[in-house]
Amino acid sequence: MESSCPTPLGASDRVLLAHGEGALWSRRLIREVFVRAFGGSEHDPLLDGAVLPPCDRPIVATTDSYVISPLFFPGGDIGSLAVHGTLNDLAVMGADPIGLTSAWILEEGLPLETLRRVVDSMAAAARAAGVRIVAGDTKVVPRGAADGLFINTTGLGRLRPDARLGPERIAPGDRVVVSGTLGDHGIAVLSARSGITFETEILSDSCNLHPLISDLLDSGLEIRFLRDATRGGLAAVLHEITETGSYSIEIEESRLPVSSQVRGACELLGLDPVHIANEGKFVAVVAEADAEAVVNRLRASAFGRDAAIVGSVIATGPARVSVRGRFHVVRELDEPTGAPMPRIC
Amino acid sequence: MESSCPTPLGASDRVLLAHGEGALWSRRLIREVFVRAFGGSEHDPLLDGAVLPPCDRPIVATTDSYVISPLFFPGGDIGSLAVHGTLNDLAVMGADPIGLTSAWILEEGLPLETLRRVVDSMAAAARAAGVRIVAGDTKVVPRGAADGLFINTTGLGRLRPDARLGPERIAPGDRVVVSGTLGDHGIAVLSARSGITFETEILSDSCNLHPLISDLLDSGLEIRFLRDATRGGLAAVLHEITETGSYSIEIEESRLPVSSQVRGACELLGLDPVHIANEGKFVAVVAEADAEAVVNRLRASAFGRDAAIVGSVIATGPARVSVRGRFHVVRELDEPTGAPMPRIC
């Protein structure tokens, strides 16, 4: 009987299994934490689906789960990261966002205060990007069956008419551009997780790249391929590109933008910035003739101020992906096959 | 160097943290397990997003995470359940499916054989429903940070022109119909989890309700509202409906379709079938004049053969949701506020 049942969010300051039962307490959690933050009315029907307008252009769909540890790190948290990561996946496919869904797996015992902070951060990131969280889901698993909380965000977008992007458009002679410094997110998370501190705090670069990419696509410059350099870093993106084509990529080590703090941290930890995850950087393969103009355009924005041409697509190389180091020695750029950095996103 | 690196799926029969790194081993896992099962080419670019055709009708989006334990249960598994559950969410909103995304959180050490079984089951369920898994994501968390595997599926659908469904369309006099027996899924999962066996094995009712609902909407009968009765069972659906309206709902206990095995199990376990989760049953609120025709139409299908009118919408009642029991005693139908059945979906 509703009148005799304590308000669960008042009676407990932690997530309970009952919050996942799909009944009264679930609805209260959804209303009091999610609907409130995401701007719906508290009296909206709590549909787990949303109805969005028709779309006159191809629809882009992308999905990502976020399992990062710790939940809060210098420069961001799992809530804002989930919004940025999914918006960036849409943006590099050439899409403007239509809406996001968010699905939450919560561990029994998670402090409600932690949940609220993450939900509020997700809501703020979505508001800043001008995109709505249109549908959601909440599950609760018993203590020990998950670690704190995991989030899935799925993004829907409208393909831009001017986006003609794909690995099949890449050809020898094209230039490889990165939109800024490499490795900031991965090192920030490792630092937060391990308790290693550096002289200057290293912040995650987690941000919404849609405005920067939108401006680039508006420019009419010849952009062949875009990809955000997340898990696996720049190296994984370059390997993925070359696996689908019949060309090689050579990058120049001296041209890679890396902050001095990240460079120092990588030396200390025995890591290479090309393997480290970013959450606010993308790789663009662009026509040779437009490469300088692309970099100049990116540098005009705060989120692209360290953009650089870092390499070229070549017809054949000593390896599919190689690095020209100092003293012009060319070596293969391999990918890590161990697991140096779990739970980075 | 690729040539010197062992095939991860050959070298290990378990999920490794390296499978979640976003680099070489991640791509191999995606190719050898997911792309193979979901019918893509092994040489497709492994985009984490998909491009779908434009949609001339409103787009329906729904998201759900699946955390069910155990992963395999009588009548289904987490893979087929994830497809059915999400298709059913689209169907009750009046949408035909366009595509599904699937995002996987895997625990380090999960046997690859288990993963393959679940992925293959998901692929088979999608094929049977004629819907594609259009994009995916895989994360791996260290041993102990998740329990086996969790799946998120997000569904995209096209709103049918004939679907005019919503709690605001419900009015006193309408009838409440359920599409079949209640409680099968929940009891099947509880039985698998606890090791309690019954004389006759109780199977989950997990199935794709889209064909049944599509036929019902084709019929032109006056359907006001549809909802699948999953977590929280029939009771949660009725409470959710009445929370948004200014009417009550009274159901008649003697009309509730419950199999004798589920009834027996519920008596044994002290549970009420109205609170138990289903994964292949929906609740329809329909115009009084069409209620018999709706039930007859449902009964013509194998998935609706036990459909029944179970109650009515009334202007005011002793409680928002009440049950008329045997001997005509009317009592309030409350919702469980504890957590009798965690991880049921």
Q: Do B53 and A50 touch (CB under 8 A)?
A: no
- pLDDT of B184 higher than 90: yes
CA–CA separation, A301 vs A225, rounded Å?
Answer: 20
The pLDDT of B254-258, averaged and rounded, is: 97
* Residue A207: both structure tokens together: 């941000």
- Cα–Cα–Cα angle for B117, B119, B122, rounded to 5 degrees: 110
Q: In this structure, what DSSP letter does residue B111 have?
A: B
The pLDDT of B330-334, averaged and rounded, is: 92
pLDDT for the residue numbered A257:
98
* Residue B134: both structure tokens together: 């259009």
Nearest CA in chain A to B319: A1
Q: Do A43 and B244 touch (CB under 8 A)?
A: yes
**What value does the mean pLDDT of chain A take?**
92
The pLDDT of A292-297, averaged and rounded, is: 98
Closest CA to B233 of B285, B185, B289: B185
pLDDT for the residue numbered A133:
95
The gap from C-alpha A332 to its chain's centroid, in whole angstroms, comes to 27
pLDDT for the residue numbered B13:
93
Asked whether A61 and B99 are in contact (CB, 8 A), the reply is yes
* Residue B256: both structure tokens together: 């509730």
- Give the pLDDT band of residue A338 (cuts 50, 70, 90): low
* Residue A89: both structure tokens together: 């996946």
Q: Which of B152, B239, B243, B278 to mutate to test the interface with A (most CBs of A within 10 A)?
A: B152
CA–CA separation, B73 vs B197, rounded Å?
Answer: 12
CA–CA separation, A19 vs A106, rounded Å?
Answer: 9
pLDDT for the residue numbered B62:
97
**Cis peptide leading into residue A167 (ω within 30°):** no
List the single range of A283-297, B52-66, B197-211 with lowest mean pLDDT: B197-211
CB of A337 less than 8 A from some CB of B: yes
Q: Do A52 and B62 touch (CB under 8 A)?
A: no
User: Is A53 or A342 the better-scoring residue by pLDDT?
Assistant: A53
pLDDT for the residue numbered A339:
61
Residues 162-181 of B with CB under 8 A from A: 166-167
- pLDDT of B3 higher than 50: no
pTM, entire model? 0.94
In three-state secondary structure terms, B48 is coil
The pLDDT of A137-143, averaged and rounded, is: 95
pLDDT for the residue numbered B40:
66
CB of A289 less than 8 A from some CB of B: no
pLDDT for the residue numbered A5:
42
- pLDDT of B46 higher than 60: no
- pLDDT of B256 higher than 90: yes
Q: Which of A29, A137, A345 to mutate to test the interface with B (most CBs of B within 10 A)?
A: A137
- pLDDT of B231 higher than 70: yes
pLDDT for the residue numbered A266:
93
The pLDDT of B191-212, averaged and rounded, is: 92
* Residue B284: both structure tokens together: 């329809």
CB of B145 less than 8 A from some CB of A: yes
> Which is it for the CA torsion B254, B260, B263, B264, positive or negative?
positive
Asked whether B233 and B266 are in contact (CB, 8 A), the reply is no
**What value does the mean pLDDT of chain B take?**
92
Asked whether B117 and B33 are in contact (CB, 8 A), the reply is no
User: Is B192 or A46 the better-scoring residue by pLDDT?
Assistant: B192
The gap from C-alpha A109 to its chain's centroid, in whole angstroms, comes to 28
- pLDDT of B118 higher than 70: yes
Write the pLDDT tens digit of every residue in A211-261: 999 999 999 999 999 999 999 999 999 999 998 788 999 999 999 999 999
Q: In this structure, what DSSP letter does residue B33 have?
A: I
Asked whether A231 and B26 are in contact (CB, 8 A), the reply is yes
- Give the pLDDT band of residue A207 (cuts 50, 70, 90): very high
pLDDT for the residue numbered A27:
87
- Give the pLDDT band of residue B228 (cuts 50, 70, 90): very high
- pLDDT of A137 higher than 90: yes
In three-state secondary structure terms, B84 is helix
CA distance A223 to chain B (A): 18
Closest CA to B333 of B234, B264, B257: B234
Crossing angle of the two packed helices A210-218 and A291-299, in degrees rounded to 10: 140
- pLDDT of B261 higher than 80: yes
* Residue A124: both structure tokens together: 């703020």
pLDDT for the residue numbered A245:
83
Closest CA to A278 of A215, A326, A228, A327: A228
Predicted complex ipTM = 0.94
- pLDDT of A54 higher than 80: yes
Write the pLDDT tens digit of every residue in A84-124: 999 999 999 999 999 999 999 999 999 999 999 999 999 99
- pLDDT of A45 higher than 60: no
Report the greatest alpha carbon distance in chain A. Answer: 78
pLDDT for the residue numbered A335:
84
CA–CA separation, B69 vs B77, rounded Å?
Answer: 9
> Which is it for the CA torsion A86, A88, A94, A96, positive or negative?
positive
Torsion of CA A177, A182, A184, A189, to 10 degrees: 110
CA–CA separation, A257 vs A305, rounded Å?
Answer: 10
- Cα–Cα–Cα angle for A66, B237, B78, rounded to 5 degrees: 40
Asked whether A229 and A237 are in contact (CB, 8 A), the reply is yes
- Cα–Cα–Cα angle for B119, B120, B124, rounded to 5 degrees: 120
CA–CA separation, A28 vs A45, rounded Å?
Answer: 12
Asked whether A63 and B86 are in contact (CB, 8 A), the reply is no
* Residue B299: both structure tokens together: 């009964």
pLDDT over 90 percentage in chain B: 77
CA distance B197 to chain A (A): 24
Write the pLDDT tens digit of every residue in B48-80: 689 999 999 999 999 999 999 999 999 999 999
pLDDT for the residue numbered B9:
58
* Residue A121: both structure tokens together: 């951060």
The string over A273-297, giving b where at least 16 C-beta atoms fall within 10 Å of a residue's C-beta and e elsewhere, is bbbbbbbbbbbbbbbeebbeebbeb
